[in-house]
Amino acid sequence: MGIIKHTIPRSTREQFVTAVNQRLPEGLLRRQSANLISAAGAGLVYAGSEVDGKTGLALRILGETFDDIDGDWARAFGVVSESGALIDPFLDKGKVFLEVRTLWRHTTDMEPGEQILRRMALGIIGGKHLVNAGLNTTAQLMGLEPHSSMAGQANLWVDGIAIGAFGVADVIEDPELQRNVANVGYVATAVGVITGGVAIAGYARQFVPPENAE
């Protein structure tokens, strides 16, 4: 159960689920609770994207934490829904684009060389997610069920590391530490080129009829 699994001890996990079930009776609020968590996360990321500095970074991190919780919550409390499965990928992509937009804005005052490098990295991240969003939308319009691969999951992780590193670097005042943290983002972006390419290629294969797959 992801975050719930890793933050709540096994010995108290069942009691936690039972306690929430007792306080969240059957009804619309319960059925839509995971979607509300997703929406709250997106709202926090948006709020953070409008604020510079450590406050904005903290809001964006909190919003991303909500995003990690929503799926765990839905599975733990049996409120997985078709609407959630449909909306969640678009919210995820929306949050990535907000992060990229925010970090791009932060490059305005950078030295020319650093600015070009950072914008290239952000362009790669945004471009991958734009292609993925297009493929996901096309799959849904064709009635295909989108699937997640190991490469896709790895790509999400490395992009998250890159975005996080760039975000933290932007609020660090020490030049050397700032450079070292930003380098983590560049390495993650480079790894993401590989994982993203593999994920997109695998994802695109679902549009090829089986007889033409070879």
At 188-209, the pLDDT tens digits run 999 999 999 888 887 777 666 5
The tokens describing 131, both together, are 């292609």
Min mean pLDDT across 67-71, 75-79, 134-138 is at 75-79
pLDDT at 154 > cutoff 70: yes
What pLDDT, on a 0 to 100 scale, did the predictor assign at position 143?
Answer: 72
pLDDT at 13 > cutoff 70: no
In whole angstroms, what separates CA 148 from the centre of its chain?
A: 13
* Cα(89)–Cα(146) distance, integer angstroms: 10
Winning range, highest mean pLDDT, from 18-32, 78-92, 124-138, 162-176: 162-176
CA angle 167, 134, 56 (to 5 degrees): 20
Report which of residues 22 and 149 the model is more confident about.
149
What pLDDT, on a 0 to 100 scale, did the predictor assign at position 124?
Answer: 96
pLDDT band at 118 (very low <50, low <70, confident <90, very high): very high
- Kindly list the domain boundaries of the chain, sorted by start residue: 1-80, 84-214
Min mean pLDDT across 50-59, 114-123, 167-176 is at 50-59
Average pLDDT over residues 96-108: 92
HSE at residue 64, side-chain half, CA atoms within 13 A, is 22
Query: 54, 59, 180, 155: which is closest to 106 by C-alpha?
Result: 54
* Cα(185)–Cα(169) distance, integer angstroms: 9
What pLDDT, on a 0 to 100 scale, did the predictor assign at position 116?
Answer: 96
pLDDT band at 20 (very low <50, low <70, confident <90, very high): low
Phi-psi region of 80 (alpha: psi -120 to 50; beta: other; left: phi over 0): beta
Return the percentage of the chain with pLDDT > 90, whole number.
31
Average pLDDT over residues 150-171: 91
Q: What does each C-alpha distance from 195 to 66, 79, 118, 126 come to in angstroms?
A: 25, 31, 19, 14
* Cα(7)–Cα(65) distance, integer angstroms: 12
The tokens describing 54, both together, are 């450590």
